[in-house]
Chains A and B, each alone.
Chain A
Amino acid sequence: MDLRFTAEEIAFRDEVRSFCREKIPAEIRRKVSEGRGLGKDDVVTAQRILNARGWAVPHWPKEWGGQDWTPIQRYIYTEELLQAAVPLPQQFNCYMFGPVLATFGNQAQRERFLARAANLDDWWCQGFSEPGAGSDLASLKTKAVRDGDHYVVDGQKTWTTLGQHADWIFCLVRTDMEAKKQRGISFLVMDMTTPGITVRPIITLEGRHEVNEVFFDSVRVPVENLVGEENKGWDYAKFLLANERTGIARIGLTKERIQRIKRLAREMPSGAGSMWDDGDFRGRVAEVEIELKALEITQMRVAAKQGRADSVQPDPASSLLKIRGSQLQQAATELLVELAGPFSLAAPARGGGGNNPPGGFDWVDAAAPSYFNNRKVSIYGGSNEIQHNVIAKGILGL
């Protein structure tokens, strides 16, 4: 047993670390760190820099741009990006669509889409959830009816993250109305400019345009846009969920947040000194750090195990990482609001053209929005309640 990285792993870590800090523009990393919204351009810029280095899609098969990394290397890579506040490669392209297409798509589809997805030439979004199908995804109703060499798609998706930027959407659609729930579902991709597709923004509670509703009204989609076999889409969706198991806990992200809180606490006056002089506050920060250390080791235990097994089934242990990881991401944003204290009331759209931030602190207006927005991490990607169910069933056999 040895918890230390090997010399090669340390060298790799240092290489990723310096690349992130030297090559990704500081302005983009600042926005990520401060929890301010990124523009599409920022995400594209960062991803192309990574892609040029061969690091946008390291977990893809080698022939499509992947790297032969060990699970520990992949873990190091993700954590270093997060800690340097580099935006992760666009998740729908790189962690969802790409792996599914590389595994289940045909050669023509791979050639058409994969390199463009890796370079973010196409922006992909995920059309799984529907108004009536959230946790119970398999009850989805959007249907695709075969008509010659097209499918005709009717229905609605919702919560489509950054669909407003998207060139393409990958959807789960019902192709067999008779079959039981999971069986009649297919994995279909659509060009967002196809007639009959409309996108309506949903503004999330912190005030940003992050998600959308997407409506499909007799949308004609060529059959060659079907990925894999008809009615096998549920298997591909499960593979998709199983695919990105390392990094799900976003430990690096929470670490970065904690580092920032420690920095800011030294500059935030309290009593006769600063917030960092307040032992109780330091204790609350330390509590998160301790829990995070435990999760980091848990995550590496899971990653090391993955090095051996290679299953397309989601590992129930990844549910554990998701639950605690999301809670710690949220705990860090709560500490940030506590630090901003009375100044956290001020909203970002400061009226009156004020260049005079509340109390003179230029970061405090982004603290509460980041707390508000991070409530999502225990809801999406399978809510924490669903993850509890997965563990109860899959690990405990209850």
Chain B
Amino acid sequence: MDFDFSEEQNLLRDSVERFCADGYPSLEARQARTREPMGFSEANWGKLAELGVCGLPFSEEDGGFGGGAVETMIVMEAIGRNLAVEPVFASGVLGATAIRLGADSDQKARWLPGLIEGTTRLTLAHTERQSRYDLHDVATKARREGSHYVLDGQKSVVLNADSAGLIVVSARLSGERRDRHGIGLFVVPADAPGVTIEAYPTQDGGRAAEVAFANVAVGADAVLGDSEDGLPLLVRVAEHGIAALAAEALGSMSALHALTVDYLKQRKQFGVTVGSFQALQHRAVDMLIALEQARSMAIYGAMMVDSADAAERAAALSAVKVQVNKACRFLGQEAVQLHGGIGMTMEYIGAHHFKRLAMIEYQLGDTPYHLRRVADDGGLIAA
């Protein structure tokens, strides 16, 4: 067993941390980024690309950096700790994983250079009005017309769609709305005729959009893998997404816990620091326990996300999401409470961590959803 980072991994961590320290020196700087037209700084995105973050998961022969789940974890933890708003999750994790695992060599040759350089950004459009967290619940239709596919439907809460060049869309070629078979993943240019993007800010300082597809025609070369059996690929993308969210949550929770402990040591009431009250000390300790449990599960997620056993992988990533979600809620609420009024304000960075952590709970499956999946699969311990 080895829980240490390699030398390269330490280097990566240092450079990403340095990027964040430069790009996110203060809450004001972060808030200014969220107000830019795309919701983040294009220049910062360019710097991330230079650091290799955009090409991180791609193999060296594909022109990437040959990073794995641990490298993604390192990057996402820094993103979370600094509340960075560049679309690393939407593009570098969700979009890039779909391409990495689903694209053939021609498609890679077409998309990878732009992706790795950071000139093309991706996102994943999977949520629909009725789907909640079920990846296989797809009402968006695809039909074959000659050598083309034509897409029709609506996707909701598509992250960073307004700054993406390519949208990976799940659409149904055959079967009923909730069938597991008949779903394809299509790579659609965001400016293709018939694509409408209605963008909005998200609660946590990010951006998302409602995306409509009306008679959108794409070539056969837009399909990732099997056009009627794309669900396993989509599931894998979501699993990588969960591993990444766990790492992001971990970074954010560590920062929030540190802020809280600091505040308890500084804030004086009744002539003493509030941290001298045992009632609050115990709360801070329980937060630490939740944080460390979440850290362990984030590591577990990174280790399991490339496992060859699909059932084992699914159970593991659902377990990760349950544990991390619970920690997000507990730590976030406790942090606000222990700060008193100051924790309730936009002017305090801790409140922004609280909001981001609250929203992570509802991305790629909430606690009851994943808890049920773990339970339905017989739990983690063989009877």
Contacts and interface: CB of A to CB of B under 8 A. Distances in A.
Contacts of A203: 345-347
A270 B359 CA distance: 19
Interface residues of B, number: 51
B363 A350 contact: no
A280 B203 contact: no
B198 A352 contact: yes
A341 B269 contact: no
B368 A280 contact: yes
A148 interface: no
A133 B271 CA distance: 11
B210 A354 contact: yes
Given A204-B346, A341-B133, A346 B269 contact: no
B338 to A, nearest CB: 9
Contacts, number: 151
Interface string B187-201: 000000000001111
B221 interface: no
Contacts of B274: 135
B41 interface: no
Interface in A56-90: none
B249 to A, nearest CB: 15
Size class of the A contact interface (CB-based, 8 Å): 35 or more
A342 B157 CA distance: 7
Nearest to A269: B130
Contacts of A135: 269-270, 274, 340
A102 to B, nearest CB: 29
Interface in B124-141: 127-130, 132-134, 137
B198 A383 contact: no
A379 interface: yes
Nearest to B283: A385
A272 B358 contact: no
A202 to B, nearest CB: 6
A368 B359 contact: yes
Contacts of A159: 341
A388 B200 contact: no
Contact of B210 (A356, A375, A385): A356
A220 to B, nearest CB: 29
B154 to A, nearest CB: 8
B156 A134 contact: no
Interface in A110-154: 129, 132-136, 139
The 6 closest A-B pairs by CB, nearest first: A269-B130, A136-B269, A350-B200, A205-B351, A354-B198, A203-B346
15 contacts: A134-B269, A136-B269, A136-B270, A203-B346, A204-B344, A269-B129, A271-B132, A271-B134, A346-B200, A347-B203, A358-B157, A359-B128, A359-B129, A379-B340, A388-B279
